[in-house]
Every structure is written in structure tokens, then in C-alpha cells.
Amino acid sequence: MKILVLNSGSSSVKFQIFQMQEVKSIVTGLIEQIGEESSTITLKLNSGKVVTRIQKIADHIAGLDITRSLLIEEKVIESLDELDGIGHRVVHGGEHFSQAAYINESVMQKIEKLIPLAPLHNPANLDGIKVALKLSPNVPNVAVFDTAFHQSIPDYAYMYALPYHLYENQGVRKYGFHGTSHHFVSLEAAKLLNKPLSSLNAITLHLGNGGSATAIENGKSIDTSMGLTPLEGLIMGTRSGDIDPAILFYLSRTKGYSIDDLDRLLNKESGLKGICGANDMRQIIDMAEDGDKKAILALEMFNYRIKKYIGSYSAILGHVDCIVFTGGIGENDDMARANCCKNLENLGIQLDLEKNAIRSKEARDISLPQSRVKVFVIPTNEELAIAQQTQKVVQDMRM
């Protein structure tokens, strides 16, 4: 079974084809700068061969059409009809979708209706879907939502203490994001613990450019740090995470900041970048090692915020089987992991510092044998997770 995964942005599309029997990726690629004179398509084949084409690509349909030709030229596929399914990453599924959905007219309408909640992402995701349906009308398309895994969060956790009509009429509530990743690593954690996902209690920490923490009880998300948008929660590369909302009124009144100014401030100019000027964790670590005080402060703030979430999620879960680190930072930054888990023995968390320092691409346990709560590093693979969910929807349809 071959599944194509598409992650469509406004000016770029990431794609990957999986051979599902062997759980193997056969090609990855990226279409960049769509709409510009020198758009680029890059294919990376399993043989190690990299194919790059630079030319004007007017829109998504032109981009995918050229990609199709390249895939055929490189003998990856003979035609798009050979695919068993196309899985699309869709950022916002609102309250409509608690799992992946076979795409039909009604699903597309729902994704469109949710555009006000994800104005940057849902329109591009929908473009990708429309193009795929046009180029390969015989292949089933499946939407896999970033929000779906969090639909199990109970109302007392997803509601904001705002007038109730804002929830009823405007949909103002916590939705959460990175759901595909939190779900994927929780499945892997259950395997490492040799127990079914349905009896797993975990705190999963997806730490990349964007970051979120999720509390998982009996395999289901019961709380997560991101909210109505991906701005709430942890300190991220350029996003503030949790702040006192009154800061916005204060800045508006004293500095005349507009809504757009505030949006840019919190989403693009805050977080690690706001504190120390850099948002790439590797650069910040280098700056801190050179004695840059703001970089040191940024790292302390980053770890402190994560620790607060570990504490609060330990409280709501009661029993925790494991903590999972994933994402670019979670998978690679041993100092961040060590600092986030420091002095948490009272919560049953005891890191093995030697194991933590070993670099590896494998899912692994980095806690001491006596640690009541296991600490795992599990590389996330959102594309594979999308392919697996797509495969399931396609197989269920065929039955």
C-alpha cells in the first residue's frame, strides 16, 4: 500500500510517500516559494539521489503537477492512481473532528468554516486538498487534524472563564495542536512500557520551534498547553506562551499598539527570540556557553515553564507512567531535558544523566531503574502518523 502525505502551506508544500507494508518512506520532497519566479522543487529519493528543479511555479496545482512528472521520471511511481490514499495535514478540525476523516464535500465545507480559527493554515490545507482531488480524482483523500487528538479534553479543562456565549457563538475554547505528534509518541511510549495505550498515563512534551505539553490519561488527551490558537502555553522560539492578557491592554493604552502590532509581538517577536534575540535553540546554547546573560535567562525561563506544566499535569493525572520528550529540542537537547527534570524526585522522576547524554535517533528510556515515572525520548514522525491514519481510514472504507 502506498500513501502520499501532503502538508500544504501558503507558499510551500511538503510531501512524502510511504510504502506501508514495510513502514518505509520511499521519497520526501518540498515545493518552495510557490508564486515566485524561482520556485524550487526538491525530491530526495531513497537511493540518496537528490533532484532539484528551479522554475516559476504559479500555484499549488502547477507545483503538484510538476512533482507528479518528476516522480514518474524518477520511477518512484508510474501514475498517481497507483497511490492507495493521500493524507493531508489539516491544522484545525474544531469540534467537528475527533479523528481522521475521509474527505468529501461536507468535510471540505467544515474545514472552510473553520478558517477564522486558523486563517494562516486551513486555507492552504484546503488548497492542497482541492489540487489533489483534481489531479487524482480516483484516489481517496483523508484529512488528519492537529486538533483531533485533543477533542477528548473535558469541558472544565477546555473552557475559558469568559462569557459563555463566546464559546457558543464564536467557538472560543481550548482546541490544542500538535495532536498527531502527541498521539504518535504516546503510542510509542505504550509499546516501550509494554502496555496498551488505553491504560497509559503520560505527560508528552513536544518541544520544537513551537512547543506544547499534553496530559494523557488512559491513552486520551485530557489537557494540553496550546489553546484557541498555538500561542498559549510553553515558551517557544518566537511565541510568548502564557502571559497576563492585561499586558495587551496596557501596551495598547500606553504605547498605542494596534491589534496587528500585538499579534506580531506575541507570535513573531517574543518567546526565546524576545528575551535573547535568537530563536534557534542551538544558537542560544552557543550564546549561553559564551556567557550571554540574556541567553542564559531565556534557557532558564524555557525550562522553568516546562517544569511548571510537568507539575500541574502530574497533579491532574495523579499516577504518571512516563514523561516523553520529542520535537527538535526534546529529541536532541540533553541539557534542556536534564534541567526540566531536575529536582522532581518528589514527583517520582529520576533521570539517568549518563543515559540522557547519549545521542541517538532511537526511542529510549533515559530514567534510572528506580524512577517511578519513566522518562523517554521518542522521535516524533508526524508524516508517518498521518500516513498510518490515512491507511486506517482507507482500509475501514474498503471493508
Q: Which residues are catalytic?
A: 146
277 sits near ligand AMP (criterion: CB under 6 A): no
Smallest gap, in angstroms, from Cβ of residue 380 to ligand AMP? 8
| Cβ proximity of 97 and 118 under 8 Å | no
Q: Is the CB of residue 203 less than 8 Å from the CB of residue 317?
A: yes
338: exposed, middle or buried (Cβ count in 10 Å: 0-12, 13-18, 19+)? middle
Which residue lies nearer to ligand AMP by CB, 3 or 281?
A: 281
Q: In angstroms, what is the minimal distance from the CB of 44 to ligand AMP?
A: 17
Which of 24, 56, 282, 293 is close enough to bind ligand AMP by CB under 6 A? Answer: 282
Determine phi and psi for 239, rounding to 5 degrees: -105, 145
Select 201 or 279, whichever has its Cβ closest to ligand AMP: 279
140 vs 81: CA distance, rounded Å: 10
Residue 233, SS3 per DSSP: coil
Piece in contact with ligand AMP (CB under 6 A), picked from 23-31, 223-231, 321-329, 347-355: 321-329
Number of helices and strands in the chain (H, E): 15, 14
DSSP character at residue 252 = H
Q: Does 301 bind ligand AMP (CB under 6 A)?
A: no
Should residue 339 be labelled a site residue for ligand AMP when binding is judged by CB under 6 A? Answer: no
CB of 213 closer than 8 Å to CB of 204: yes
Verify binding: residue 329, ligand AMP, rule CB under 6 A: yes
Q: Residue 227 CB, nearest distance to ligand AMP (Å)?
A: 19
Query: Interface with ligand AMP includes 12 (CB under 6 A)?
Result: no
Q: How far is the CB of 179 from ligand AMP (least distance, A)?
A: 15
Instruction: Using the minimum distance from each CB to ligand AMP, give the nearer residue, 286 or 396.
Output: 286
Q: What amino acid is encoded at 70 in this protein?
A: L
**What binding mask, one character per residue, do residues 162-201 give for ligand AMP by CB under 6 A, x or -?**
----------------------------------------
> Which position among 328, 348, 355, 368 is part of the footprint of ligand AMP (CB under 6 A)?
328
| Residue whose C-beta lies closest to ligand AMP | 328
Strands 2-8 and 85-90: parallel
Regarding 327 and contact with ligand AMP (CB under 6 A), the answer is yes
Selected range binding ligand AMP among 44-52, 153-161, 190-198, 276-284, rule: CB under 6 A: 276-284
Distance from C-alpha of 67 to C-alpha of 53, rounded to nearest angstrom: 10
CB of 281 to ligand AMP, least distance (A): 3
Q: Which of 65, 74, 82, 280 binds ligand AMP (CB under 6 A)?
A: 280
Q: Residue 172 has which C-alpha cell? A: 472560543
State the Cα–Cα distance between residues 191 and 196, nearest whole angstrom: 7
Q: Which residues contact 256 (CB under 8 A, 6 or more apart)?
A: none
By beta-carbon proximity to ligand AMP, the closer residue of 42 and 99 is 42
Question: What is 193-220 written as a DSSP string?
Answer: HTS-GGG--EEEEEESSSEEEEEEETTE
Q: Is 286 in the site for ligand AMP (CB under 6 A)?
A: no
CB of 366 to ligand AMP, least distance (A): 15
Phi, psi of 13 (to 5 degrees): -135, 125
Bridge partners (DSSP) listed for residue 141: 86
| Residue the block writes with cell 509494554 | 194
Our finding on whether 35 is near ligand AMP (CB under 6 A) is: no
Decide if residue 82 touches ligand AMP (CB under 6 A): no
- For residue 166 the three cell numbers come to 463566546
Output DSSP code: residue 10. Answer: S
Q: Which CB sits closer to ligand AMP, 11 or 332? A: 332
Total number of residues binding ligand AMP (CB under 6 A)? 12
Name the segment binding ligand AMP (CB under 6 A); options: 71-79, 281-289, 291-299, 303-311.
Answer: 281-289
Alpha-carbon distance 20 to 4, whole Å? 10
What's the N-to-C CA distance of the chain in angstroms?
Answer: 15
Q: How far is the CB of 339 from ligand AMP (least distance, A)?
A: 12
The residues of the shown chain that bind ligand AMP, judged by CB under 6 A, are 208-209, 237, 280-282, 285, 327-329, 332-333
